[in-house]
Amino acid sequence: MTAILTAGLSLKPQYDDAALACRAEGLWFEVHPENYLVADGPRLQWLEAMRARHPISLHGVSLSIAADAEPDAAHLQRLATLAGRRSGRGTQRKSRYRSCAIALRTA
């Protein structure tokens, strides 16, 4: 079996039109779901249009294992709702640092 190499690009708003027009095979885009946690509107409609043309990877950046509090249940529900709207990849970056930038020991 031969693996097919693909490339994923972080999607930035200033490149929205070019990304939507791109037809490169094997291309997928990564977005921060926190930028799309809205009930509806142009931002979410644009994401759906992108998803129709390219795979989208949701790469969350809002959770931290060093946080002082438990994850917000409403925020987690909004993430789940957004993830349920599309197929593709999803990851959540987990920070190893406190907000005051003191590194935590990791195993």
| The model scores a pTM over 0.85 | no
Q: Where does residue 89 fall: left (phi above 0), alpha (psi -120 to 50 degrees), or beta otherwise?
A: beta
The pLDDT assigned to 3 comes to 67
> What distance in Å separates the CA atoms of residue 10 and residue 59, rounded to the nearest whole number?
9
The pLDDT assigned to 84 comes to 84
9-18, long-range: CB within 8 Å, 24+ apart, which pairs? 11/50, 11/56, 16/46
The pLDDT assigned to 74 comes to 92
The pLDDT assigned to 95 comes to 43
Low-confidence ranges of the chain (pLDDT < 70): 1, 3, 5, 86-107
Q: Is the dihedral of CA 107, 83, 50, 42 positive or negative?
A: negative
The pLDDT assigned to 6 comes to 78
The pLDDT assigned to 13 comes to 82
Which among 59, 65, 60 is positioned nearest to 98, based on CA atoms? Answer: 65
Our separate counts of H helices and E strands in the chain read: 3, 4
The pLDDT assigned to 100 comes to 41
